[in-house]
Structures are given as structure tokens and as C-alpha cells.
Structure 1
Amino acid sequence: MTRESRMDKRKLRICGIGVLFSVISTSFGLEVNIPQSTYKVARGDQVAITCTFQPKNPVNNLIIISWTADPDGSFDDEGLNFGTFYSNDNHVDIDPMYEGKIQIDSNVNTRVSTLTLKQATLRENRRIKCRVNIPGDTVGQTTATTSLVVLVAPSDPVCKIKGTAEYWQNISLTCVSEEGSPLPTYKWQSYDVRNTPRSFPPKTTEQDGVLSLFNISADTSGYFICTATNEIRSASCNLTLSVMPYTMNIGSTAGIIGGVIAGIAVLVLIIYCCCRKKEKPEEFVMGPPVIEYHDAADKEDIEEGPTDARKASIEGGIDPKEKYELKAEKTPNLHSSEDGDRFDQDDRQDRTSHSRSREDLYRERDDDRRDNYNRGRYDDRRDHYDDREDHRGRNDDRRDRNDDRYDDRRDRNDDRYDDRRDYDDRRDRPDDRYDDRRYRHDDRYDDRRDRHDDHYDDRRDRRDDRYDDRRDYDDRQERHDDRRDRYDERQDRYDDRRDR
């Protein structure tokens, strides 16, 4: 079989396939198709979307091809209209918003239309639609769609803490990127205070960049990193979480510390005042207690009531035994007073002497009690005073030891001062040498300057002498000129005389 025969067979097969498609299209109607279901392009790059169509009739007077985009789901978005092709005059009507930004190329013979976006933006990140309208050919698939994905790298996400980072609270860590296409996915990672990776606490949830932490504690503190990733690249942000005790903020902490310091200061002041009060010397009152005595009552008062006289004789208490004795003495005296007036005077004298003897007894008892009281009180105070003297002696010993320590330190300081003074003396010796050298150098300079001044004075004197000599010569010259003038005058007078 020759090569030409083979080519003829291939042509026949192609024609048969074309006739078959024609028959199928004629039987089923218009067919519109976009080869790819998804087109991906980086933002700012160019992309071309191709749409093919197969009409029912091979020949059509008018074919209208429209390129549009569906709404992206936002509230005020109604979709996009790129442009429309008309086959009757091969005219393309481009939307004013895309004038110069897109290009629509359509060929009715090859039944292909191409939409070219010169610089893709996020606005075109949606479903693109190709629609073919042929009058009289409305049966079949007249529209084809595809997804245009404009790839944009995620922007640097922003990490924030929602809630109060205190013990036993629930908080959320959010991570959001303002840009990113397709939408980035977020992943959180946790590190402890030693920068060691760790797992999340129990009951932690992570969804769409939100990390929810429940019943947090000091163990929850650490570093958290969020990474946003899409097909282009990834970006991350981090934050430091410091969980503090409940209501432990700066203001309350400062207030607590200030209150503690104030309380300590007041306590120290009270202790200091108490110690000062204890160290204050006690004033010893060496005088005996004052007991006031009164003279005995008159006889008339004794007759009226000896008990009242006894009460007025001494200020102080009388024990029950003495009261009983006084009562016993009072009864016979009353009986004796009833016997008659003849014994009144004797009884009065007896009572007076008896009362005086009892006053003496009371006075002696009071003296004994006063002596015992004063002796015991003086002994106690003397012992207390001796204790204070011992304490003062111990303080003197401490003071002497402190004085000895101070003297030792002062001696060591004096030795150090002497060493420093010796160092100053050694340091002054080079200074003295330097001064001697400087003085000798100054003397030499003064000698040289004096010799120079003398030499200059000699030169000046010689110069002055020369000037004086010249001035003398001028004087002689002037005198000579005067003489010559006088001679000329004489010569003139002589000539005048001769002429006459």
C-alpha cells in the first residue's frame, strides 16, 4: 500500500469524524465547553481562558459570545461583565472598567473564544462564565464555567489575646492574615519558658486560627507561634503568654507592698518607743509613807462616844480583833456610868488614861508597820537599783570593748594614712627634681635673654651715636651754609657798590 493511499484513508477518517460530530451536534443542539475546570495564576500575572462551542447548524448569521463572572458572595457584589463579541461585524464590546486590561479573541470558523486578563487581581478570584447565544439554536448547553484562583501569599498574621490571662480563666488566642488566596490555613505551636516544644493542655480547641485555652494556670505560660500557609508561601506571628494570679495587677501589687512596708515601719517604731521607755531611769522615792495623826478628842467628845474618839485618833484601818476589844471596853463603861454620878469623874479619868494608853499602843503598832513597810520597800528598790547598776556596768564593759575596737581601727587607719603620706613624699621628690631642673633652665634662659638684651642695647647705642654724629655734621653744614650766605650777601653788596 502506497503512502498516498494511506493519506487518503486518514482524510476520510477525519471527514467521517467531523460528519459524526455534525450529526451529534445536529441531533443534540449547541454545546459550549471550557477545557480546564480551574485556572491558577499569581496576582499581577497574565492568564488566558479558552472557551469552545459547537453550534447545531454549521452556518449561522449571528453568534454572540459573552464573558462574565459570578458574584463572590459579598453583600453589594453583583458580578462582573468583561465583554461581548458579535460575529456579524466582528465587534467586541469591552466593559469600561476593564478597558485596556483584558482582551477577547473569538473565531467563528474554529469555534473558539479566548479571554485574556493582562494583570489578574483578587477581584477576578471567582467563577468565570462563557455564554454563547445563537438565534434559533437554544437547545443544549449554552454556558460553560471555570474557577479562576488568583494566588496571593498570606500577609503577616496578627496574634492577639482575648480574655484575661489570670489563674483559672478561659482565654482565646487569635491569628488572622488580612490577605491570602486561597485562604490560608492556620496552625498554632506552643513552647514553655525554656523554649521547649510542648503539647496543648487538655480540652484545648483550635479552629480557623482561634486557639481556645480553658482553666489556665502558671503552667500555661510560655511562647505561642501561629503559622498561616497557602500554596504560595507561609507567614507567622508569635506572642508571649504570662498567666498571673487572680487580680494580681501592678496597682494592687504596689498597694500590698506599700501596706506591708508601712506596717513594718509602725511595728519598728512601737518597739523602739517601748525600749526607750524601759531604759528611762526610775525615780526612787526614799521618803516613808505619810500617815496623818490627830490629837485626842476633848473629854466632852469622849463622854458622848469613846468609839468616835478612837476613830478620830488615827487614819487607817483597824482589824476586827481591835474592834471587838473596843466594843468589850465600851459595855462596862456604860454600866458603870449608870451606877451613879459619884463614879463619873473616876470613870472619865480611867477612860482618858486608858484611851491615851491605847493611842500609844496604836502609834507603836503603826510605827512597827511603817518600819516593816519601808524596810521591805527600800530593800526591793535597792535590789532593783543594784540590778540596774549591774546592767549599767555590763553596758560600760560593752562600751569599753567598742572603744577598744574603735581605737584599733583608728590605729590601722593612721598607719594607712602614714603609708599614704610616705607615698606622697616619694611622689614629691620627682616633683622637686623637676622644679630644680625647671628653675635651672629658667636661669639659663634669663642669662641668655640678658646677654641678648645687652647686645641689643650696645647696637642701639652705637646706632644712636652714629645718628648724633650725622646730626652734628648737619649742624656744621648748616653753619657753613650760613657763612656762605653771608659771604654771598657781602659779595652782592660789593657788586652793588661797584656798579654804582
Structure 2
Amino acid sequence: MGPFPCVLLALCVASARALQLLATDQKTIVIPQGDKVVLSCKFIVGPEDTGTLDIEWSLVAPDTQQADQYIITYTGDKMYSIYEGLKDRVHFVSVEPQNGDASIEIINAKQADSGTYQCKVKKVPGVQSQKTVLTVLVKPAKVNCFIDGPQEIGRDLSLKCQAKEGTAPLTYMWQKLSGSSSPVLQSDATTGILTVKNASQDYSGTYRCLATNRVGNDECLVILNVLPPSNVAGKIAGAIIGTLLGLAVLGLIIFCCCRKQKEKKYEKEVQHEIREDVAPPKSRNSTARSYIGSNHSSLGSLSPSNIEGYSKSPYNKVPSSEEYEHPPSQAPNFVSSKVAGPNLSRMGAIPVMIPAQNKDGSVV
């Protein structure tokens, strides 16, 4: 045996005694958001590995200028969870990792958890590590289907499909579920647009759009109903006529309201109008009494020197209408007459004592 085979055999024997990590088929893992994933890391310790067992899981920094982020460790028979981004969501699969299973499980995975994870097992003098790439994707969701363009015979239109959620790249596929067979449809798998040229009634039916990415899919439905062209001119004329009729009715209502308001205002003004009262007719009896009363007052002020001129006046006679209708400035002409003393007393005359005078006018 030559020297080279001997050296190779010695290395194989030495490696069998040293720490080893078992190979895994999952170097790259892709999961949907919200699922759980197990990152495998199993090892075998050789008889020469007598040091303390240390297990470290870290998230490798994408930039070599940055340090790796430690996630969870096992050292001195104790476990430590370090990374806040995975706090309460990561743990060792085995409760005794020292027995050869250093795999970890991540629950409720998020898109931010995507990255390269490294498992490092150290038991002096043996040290081994391996990496696993984890990709967390968001499944397509809230897919919306709609029609863009007029659904009329001879016109061009488009059926559009769009997912509001989902990690790119997304693939869209259209399928006709009901209705008659139609010509070959042209659709864009990346934009989700199905183009229909020179539409006919054969295109009418129910269509389904399926949005897909690496972790899932979602779908939506839309109904296409291609009809003959509508009478646009008739619709416009009808709209104009309807508008004019509406304006006419509105104008009539406004006119009636204004007229009613004017009538109410006129009635209110008539009720508050101040009119001049008509003078009442003259009363003959009251005039006659006033005339007699004035004569009595005149007689009551007569003195003996001027009684003599009124003694023959007819006081017991009520004056006629022609006599009391004379103006107050024209006093009636009475005929002087002598009246007896008793008659004067009955008429309300007051007796007055007149002193005697001599011829020269002096009082006796």
C-alpha cells in the first residue's frame, strides 16, 4: 500500500470519530405566510469531542459588513431565545437538543422572517455548521374581476383581474365557465387582462380569473353580457325632454307659490287698512232741547230792568226746525212783552232787588 491511500484511510477514520452534521434535502424552503416551518439540524458527536456542547442558530446578514443576528442558543444544558423578531415564535423541536437534534420550529411565519438561517454545533474540538434559505410568501387574496368598456356588439372591451394581496410574481389565467363557445381569447398572464375585439353575443357568459403564485391561489368571477347597440340619440332626446318637463313643473310650482304669497299679503293689508268714519246724522230732539236750555240760561240771567222786553215771548212753545237750524251767531228776534211775576218764577227767573234812584241818578 502506498503512502497516499494510507493517509486517506487515516482521515476517514479520524472524521468518523469527529462531530458531524447530517445532510438535509431542504436547503431552500418556501412557505406561505401564517404557516409553521421546521429548520432541520441533526448531528453526531464523536468520541474525541469532549468539550461543552454549544448550539447556535443565527440569521445571516445579507451584507458582509453587518453582523449576524443570533436567534436561539443552547449552552450549558440551558436554552436562550435572543432575537426579538421571533420572540415567542421559535423553539427547539427536541426538549433535549444534546441528544443530536438541534432543529428549530418557527410558527406563524411572516414575510419578514425570510432569510438565510445557519445552524452551528460546537463540541470541542469538533465544530460544524449548515445553512437553510427560508422564503415566506403571501398567497394571492382579494382578487377583483371587472369589465372595462361597453358591452355592445361590434365594440372592443377588456376583462381585467387584479389581486390586492399576494407576493409577486403572480400569474393570471382566464377561463370561460358558461355560455356558448367563443373564439380564441387573448389574455396576458402577467397583467390579468383579457382583450375582446369586435365583441359578439358569442362572448357572453361567466368568466373566472385564477391568480396564482408559488404558495397559493385565489379566484373571482365576472358575467359578460354582450347586447346590440343602444339608441343613444333616443336616450339623449328623452333626457332633454324629461329635463324640460321637470323645469316646467318647477316653474309652475314657483309661480303658484308666489301668487299665493301675494294674495295673503293683500288680505293682510286690507285687514289693517284705517278707514274714515262717516259723521252721524243730526238729532232734532237734542237740538231742540239745547235750544230750550240756552233760552232758560238766558232768562235766568235777566234782571228786572230787561225782563220787561221778554215778558211777551212764547216760552211755552217749542221752536220749529226752521228756527233752531239758524247758525248760533243769528239769535232769534223775540217780541218784547211783559210777563207776570208768578210766570217768571215758573220759568226759573231769580228776583233781584233794585234800589230806588232819584232823577239825577243817585241812589235813595
Q: Same fold per TM (> 0.5)?
A: no
Query: TM-score band, normalised by the shorter chain?
Result: 0.3 to 0.5
Q: Larger strand proportion, structure 1 or 2? A: 2
Q: Larger helix proportion, structure 1 or 2? A: 1
Q: Flag the structure with larger Rg.
A: 1
Normalized against structure 2, the TM-score is what? 0.44
Normalized against structure 1, the TM-score is what? 0.34
